[in-house]
């Protein structure tokens, strides 16, 4: 499977001519071609998809299902605005990568495209909010711990939150949800009925961080990202996946100077066992008719579930 850098290189070697396409040289269950549409913007075209109904377009990317000769159909993803080229390239590579070993590649490709539509609407191109920065810091702190225990590829693959999964980290027999709070916090916010809902026991990991003046011993998003990338440097596939997940979360390298202005002091990590007795709301425990909610859990009330680290 090609890396994201190799995928970008394929585009670089193509002249930007209208309606010119080149089949990608990789083993894949789908017939994938890249090129330029009549508007001289980049396009990814998937041949022999059949008729695909109800697939949306957005400000940045248009999806076109068109009939070819001989009752064959193709699905084309077209970049509409050059300012979104980085988002478009990562969307295309992610769809290609996630369907490489799929048993239902067309369905999985469409599903991944739809998830990107939601992600791009949520993250946009602006700098992340302060709370979202803190949330990412917590997830990266946990990821850094996993790197030492599981290795780069396994650790990065376990980080599922940026892909739209209900829990931040998922493992073969357990899971972990990460929260980041200030020292004075008395509760944590749970954002959905699904966030703590799993058949297997899991963990609620709470990192306590305080905003602080800059210093060599302080945390910031760029420092932590650079540290994790250094540990993934000998695993190019893991590094590619890490970049993709950071991108989906909303982190852009172009904004690192802005993120570096927010520095944090690490205080502690708390770990709680989430089992069937843990106080939580799920789809199985709320009255019928309630389909979504967010709520707060008292940290004092779950002290008995706290585990020694």
Query: Per residue in 125-156, pLDDT tens?
Result: 678 999 999 999 999 999 999 999 999 999 99
Three-state DSSP at 253 gives: helix
Phi and psi at residue 60, in whole multiples of 5°?
-95, -35
Q: What total of structural domains would you count in the chain? A: 2
**Same-domain status, 284 and 247:** yes
**Same-domain status, 134 and 46:** no
At residue 258, the pLDDT reads: 94
Domain that holds residue 100: 4-123
8: CB partners within 8 A, 6+ apart: 89
State pTM to two decimals: 0.84
The beta-carbon contacts of 210-213 under 8 Å, at least 24 apart in sequence, are 210/182, 210/183, 210/264, 210/265, 210/267, 211/182, 211/262, 211/263, 211/264, 211/265, 212/263, 212/264, 212/265, 213/263
Strand positions, DSSP E, the chain = 20-23, 31-36, 42-47, 61-68, 72-79, 169-170, 175-181, 187-190, 202-212, 263-274, 295-298, 306-307
**Same-domain status, 76 and 152:** no
**Same-domain status, 137 and 258:** yes
Angle at 162 between CA 159 and CA 166, to 5 degrees: 80
**Same-domain status, 248 and 275:** yes
At residue 166, the pLDDT reads: 92
Q: What proportion of the chain, given as a percentage, has pLDDT over 70?
A: 96
Please report, to the nearest 10 degrees, the dihedral formed by the alpha carbons of residues 236, 166, 44, 24 taken in order. Answer: 40
With beta carbons less than 8 A apart as the criterion, state whether 267 and 141 touch: no
**Higher-scoring residue by pLDDT: 86, 16:** 86
**Same-domain status, 261 and 216:** yes
Q: How confident is the model at residue 84 (pLDDT cuts 50, 70, 90)?
A: confident
At residue 39, the pLDDT reads: 66
With beta carbons less than 8 A apart as the criterion, state whether 42 and 88 touch: yes
Q: How many residues does the structure list for the chain?
A: 309
Q: How confident is the model at residue 271 (pLDDT cuts 50, 70, 90)?
A: very high
Choosing from 98, 123, 148, the residue where a domain stops is 123
At residue 37, the pLDDT reads: 77
With beta carbons less than 8 A apart as the criterion, state whether 232 and 147 touch: yes
**Same-domain status, 23 and 82:** yes
**Same-domain status, 90 and 139:** no
Q: Which of 56, 108, 63, 116 is nearest to 86 (CA)?
A: 116
Choosing from 70, 90, 123, the residue where a domain stops is 123
Per-residue pLDDT reduced to its tens digit, 59-79: 889 999 988 877 889 999 999
Three-state DSSP at 28 gives: coil
Give the pairing of strands 187-190 and 175-181.
unpaired
pLDDT at 122 over 60: no
At residue 12, the pLDDT reads: 80
Domain CATH code at residue 46: 3.30.1460
Q: How confident is the model at residue 158 (pLDDT cuts 50, 70, 90)?
A: very high
Q: How confident is the model at residue 210 (pLDDT cuts 50, 70, 90)?
A: very high
With beta carbons less than 8 A apart as the criterion, state whether 60 and 84 touch: yes
**Same-domain status, 55 and 40:** yes
């Amino acid at each position: 499977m090609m890396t994201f850098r190799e995928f970008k290189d394929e585009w670089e070697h193509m002249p930007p001519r209208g309606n010119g396409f080149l089949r990608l040289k990789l083993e894949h269950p789908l017939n994938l071609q890249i090129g330029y549409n009549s508007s001289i913007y980049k396009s990814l075209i998937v041949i022999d998809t059949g008729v695909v109904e109800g697939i949306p377009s957005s400000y940045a990317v248009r999806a076109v299902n068109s009939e070819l000769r001989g009752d064959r159909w193709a699905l084309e993803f077209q970049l509409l605005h050059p300012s979104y080229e980085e988002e478009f390239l990562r969307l295309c590579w992610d769809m290609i990568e996630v369907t490489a070993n799929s048993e239902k590649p067309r369905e999985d490709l469409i599903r991944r495209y739809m998830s990107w539509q939601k992600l791009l609407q949520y993250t946009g191109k602006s700098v992340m909010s302060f709370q979202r920065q803190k949330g990412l810091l917590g997830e990266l702190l946990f990821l850094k711990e996993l790197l030492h225990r599981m290795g780069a590829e396994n650790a990065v693959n376990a980080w599922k939150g940026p892909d739209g999964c209900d829990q931040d980290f998922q493992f073969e027999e357990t899971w972990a949800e990460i929260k980041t709070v200030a020292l004075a916090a008395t509760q944590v916010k749970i954002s959905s009925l699904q966030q703590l809902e799993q058949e297997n026991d899991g963990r609620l990991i709470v990192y306590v961080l305080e905003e602080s003046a800059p210093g060599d011993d302080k945390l910031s998003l760029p420092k932590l990202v650079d540290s994790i990338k250094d540990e993934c440097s000998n695993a190019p596939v893991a590094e590619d996946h890490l970049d993709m997940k950071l991108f989906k979360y909303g982190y852009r390298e172009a904004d690192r100077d802005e993120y570096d202005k927010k520095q944090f002091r690490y205080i502690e990590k708390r770990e709680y066992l989430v089992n069937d007795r843990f106080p939580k709301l799920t789809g199985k425990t709320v009255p019928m008719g309630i389909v979504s909610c967010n709520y707060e859990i008292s940290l004092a009330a779950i002290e008995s579930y706290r585990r020694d680290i």
